[in-house]
Structure 1
Amino acid sequence: MESNRLEAFSDGVLAIIITIMVLELKVPHGADLEALKPLLPVFLSYVLSFIYVGIYWNNHHHLLKACRKVTGPIMWANLHLLFWLSLFPFATGWMGENHIAALPTALYGGVLLCAAIAYFILQNCILKNEGSNSKLAIALGNDYKGKLSPLFYLAAIPAAFYHSWISACLYVCVALMWLIPDRRIERAVAEDGAA
């Protein structure tokens, strides 16, 4: 199977995830700024999750562009990633509705951690298929951001029970770290296409 079919399916799922998340933003019953105040945590958690979905979409796109052939393990690893990403609307809504309370904030971190692990598994399935000397393997190198992100999530989950805003700040830090797209894979794909 070509990777473009898998990418199109994944894009559709991610679009649905974003749609479900935005539907969680309820219209206030007042017409003044005071009516928006209770919605602020819901909105902020939506913005953070929207950024995360965008980061996954961007990096997933580049990863699949580097994939020459899709195998069964790659398809299952991709579904595994999409499963964890599909929980973003629930985790986002629960955290926002409860104003960044401890348990919902910890669960949000758990979903982020599982999505990061799932992405790592997908990446390794593709690397196994492409080979250790492939342009993708060379482009990924040590993948410091990929290894550092789960450590932030692991720290943020228990921190939620101490002070949930510490966890929220750690989630924002990881998002900021990934906000600038990882151009290594994009360059490797462009070089491979030019060759």
Structure 2
Amino acid sequence: MRSGRLEAFSDGVLAIIITIMVLELSVPDDTNWGSLLEIAPTLISYILSFIYVGIYWNNHHHLFQVTRRVNGKVLWANLHLLFWLSLIPFTTSWVGENHQASLPVASYGFVLMMAAVGWYILQRTLRELDPENEDLAQVTKGGPKEIVSVVLYALSIGLAFANVWVSIGIIFGIAALWVIPEKGVETIDYQG
């Protein structure tokens, strides 16, 4: 079967995730800089989460531009990824309200780590379905960035209980690592 419905559904879920996150933002109580600073942790957690959802949307787009077919396993692997991504608004809000607390920050790192695992499972499932697809192999070839990211997520989870700010710094660093797509992905001719 073709991937059009899977892509449309995924785009809709990601749009809803972003909508939920923005609806969680509260307007400052006053119109001065001090009241804006009071909600800064919530605003920063929203910006970071928006970037993460954007990274996944961008990579999902590239992945399905080279996908020739899907099956039930791919549908479930995609739902697994979307499940973890759908928890981002919850952990975003929790961190925004409790940015100095260990458990919310560790939970945020855990959800991001599990989304990365979900992404890996989706890629592997697609490769198993279509092992002859060279463009798909190029997009999903992986590398040290994937491994480093999962290791750093795991590290951020543990470090959240020792130093929340180091944990948050690691999570920001991983996002910075992924903002720019791989050059090989950008050069694939999706028309062919």
TM over 0.5: yes
- What's 1:164 paired with? 164
Aligned pair 1:83/2:83, yes or no? Answer: yes
Q: Is the 8 A contact 1:3 1:65 kept in 2?
A: no
Residues 138 and 185, structure 2, Cα contact 8 Å, conserved in 1: no
| Matching residue of 1:155 | 155
* Residues 156, 166 of structure 1: 8 Å contact kept: yes
Higher helix content, 1 or 2: 1
Query: The residue matched to 1:193 in structure 2 has which SS?
Result: coil
The number of aligned residues is 192
TM-score (norm 2): 0.94
Q: Could you say what the CA RMSD is over the residues aligned between the two structures, in angstroms?
A: 1.5
**Partner residue, 1:31:** 31
Summarize the alignment of residues 25-174 of structure 1 with structure 2, pairs less than 5 Å apart: 25-131=25-131, 134-174=134-174
8 A contact 1:140–1:184 mirrored in 2:
no
Deviation of residue 138 (structure 1)? 3.8
1:181 Cα offset (Å) = 1.5
Residues 41-62 of structure 1: CA distance to partner in whole angstroms, max 9, x if unpaired?
0001000000000000000111
Q: Report the CA distance between 1:30 and its aligned residue.
A: 1.2
Alpha-carbon distance, 1:142 to partner:
4.2
Q: Secondary structure at the match of 2:31?
A: coil
State how far apart, in whole Å, the 1-side matches of 2:138 and 2:30 are. Answer: 55
Structure 1 runs, 4 residues or longer, greater than 4 Å off: none
Contact 1:66 1:185 in 2 (8 A): no
Q: Could you tell me which runs of 5 or more consecutive residues in structure 2 were left unpaired when the two chains were aligned.
A: none
Structure 1 CA distance for aligned equivalents of residues 142 and 27 of structure 2: 45
Report Cα offsets for 1:113-167 as digits up to 9, x if no partner.
1100000000000111110663322444342212211011011001001110101
Return 5+ residue gaps in structure 1 as ranges. Answer: none
Q: CA deviation at 1:99?
A: 2.2
TM-score by length of 1: 0.93
Deviation at 1:186, TM superposition (A): 4.0
- Write the distance in 2 (CA, Å) between the matches of 1:130 and 1:16: 30
Give the whole-Å Cα distance in 2 for the aligned partners of 1:132 and 1:124: 13
Verify the 8 A CA contact 1:3 1:68 in the aligned structure 2: yes
Quote the sequence identity (%): 51
